[in-house]
Amino acid sequence: GEDVEQSLFLSVREGDSSVINCTYTDSSSTYLYWYKQEPGAGLQLLTYIFSNMDMKQDQRLTVLLNKKDKHLSLRIADTQTGDSAIYFCAESVDNFNKFYFGSGTKLNVKP
C-alpha cells in the first residue's frame, strides 16, 4: 500500500496553536484529508484539500499542502481541551476507490 506517515504524539497548552504534520508518497493523490477520532468513536471528517490547492482555511483549521515535498499539515488555532483526540491524515488514490491512512497523531491539550 501507500505510505502515509505521521508523528505519534503532540502535546500543547490550551490556547496555543497545534500543528500536525503528515507526509505521503503517492504523487497521484487526488484529495488529502484530515479526520478526527475521539475515544471510542469512529473517524469524523474534519476537512479536505484538493491536490492542486496550497492552502485551505476553515474557521480554526488551516490545511497547508506542499505537493513538491508531499507534505500536508493541519494547524488548529486557539487549541481547546475538546480538540484532544487522534488526528488521521489520509489520501485518496485510484479514482477514490482507495483511501490510505496514516497511523494517527494523538493530540493532548493541557489546561
Partner 1 sequence: NAGVTQTPKFQVLKTGQSMTLQCAQDMNHNSMYWYRQDPGMGLRLIYYSASEGTTDKGEVPNGYNVSRLNKREFSLRLESAAPSQTSVYFCASSEVGGSGYTFGSGTRLTVV
43 lines the binding site for partner 1 (CB under 8 A): yes
Q: List the one residue out of 32, 24, 30 whose CA is nearest residue 4.
A: 24
Which of these segments, 9-17, 64-72, 75-83, 94-102, binds partner 1 (CB under 8 A)? 94-102
Which of these segments, 16-24, 55-63, 67-75, 88-96, binds partner 1 (CB under 8 A)? 88-96
* Contact between residue 3 and residue 25 where contact means Cβ atoms under 8 Å apart: yes
For residues 14 and 23, which CB has a smaller minimum distance to partner 1 in the complex?
23
In the complex, the smallest distance separating the C-beta of residue 75 from partner 1, rounded to whole angstroms, is 19
**For residue 46, which phi and psi values (nearest 5 degrees)?**
-90, -50
User: Among residue numbers 51 through 80, which ones bind partner 1 (CB under 8 A)?
Assistant: none
CA separation, residue 59 to residues 12, 49, 83, 101, 103 (Å): 19, 15, 14, 24, 25
